[in-house]
Amino acid sequence: MSTLNLGLVLIILGFMLETKMGESMRFELDSGQTKCISEDIRTNAMSVGKYAIVNPHQDSLPHSHKLTVKVSSPYGHSYHIGEDVDSGNFAFTATENGAYTSCFWAINHQPPVKLTIDFVWRTGVAAKDWSQVAKKGQVDTMEFELKKLHDTVTYIHEEMYYLRGRYEITSFVITIPYLINLIFESQHLQYREEEMQHLNKETNSTMAALSFFSIVVCLSVAGLQVWHLKTFFQRKKLL
């Protein structure tokens, strides 16, 4: 593969991976309503975000177009609060594993208005300011893309370990009731097995008694037949 083709592959791959680690969206919010967006972030991961109300006109935003924004951790710690704002940004390094939440409240207004909000939220490699890294004259394109790709792969590797740890914990929590249920089922099966063994012993005893009775009956019938034949022959004076 030529250097040019390799460079194109790295650029495309880096762009695709970076896109998956950032969220860019536009949504609508009515007056007096709330919308929350969550992002699963691991410890020590960088996270940046920015938001802005889309201006429906060319002039300044109406006074009714205001938001209250709060970004909080899984345990309720606030990382950003913006009150009665039309735009803003935030940046933090996660100190807790779990779902971080960004909530948007639109202020009450009569008559009601509908706000359109642009929101960009990036974590990990996607949150890094690469414009400070790729200054002209410092690095060439290939080295720059390789560095981005290396950081992206490192981030994905760390994410895999983080998700695997969460999966193992979840699996352990799910396994406990399963094991308890398995113990009860095992005890029930053991009890059923003891019942079957007892029934089997009773059946064997009954079959042995019936077999002995059948032998006695057969011998008795045979004796009667011999006696009957002997009597018959004596009467006919054949014996």
17: tokens are: 């991976």
pTM above 0.85, yes or no: no
What's the pLDDT tens digit per position in 167-182? 555 555 555 666 677 6
Angle at alpha carbon of residue 226, lines to 224 and 231, rounded to 5°: 95
CA distance 28 to 237: 123
Per CATH, the homologous superfamily of domain 23-128 is GOLD domain (2.60.120.680)
pLDDT of residue 130: 46
91: tokens are: 């940046």
61 in helix, strand or coil? Answer: coil
What's the pLDDT tens digit per position in 4-33? 444 444 445 444 444 445 557 899 998 889
102-111, 123-132, 189-198 — most confident range: 102-111
pLDDT at position 116 over 80: yes
How far, in Å, are 29, 39, 95, 142 from residue 167 at the CA level? 35, 17, 20, 37
pLDDT of residue 178: 62
119 and 27 in contact (C-beta within 8 Å)? Answer: yes
Strand (E) positions, the chain? Answer: 22-30, 34-41, 46-53, 67-72, 78-85, 87-93, 98-106, 114-123
pLDDT of residue 140: 57
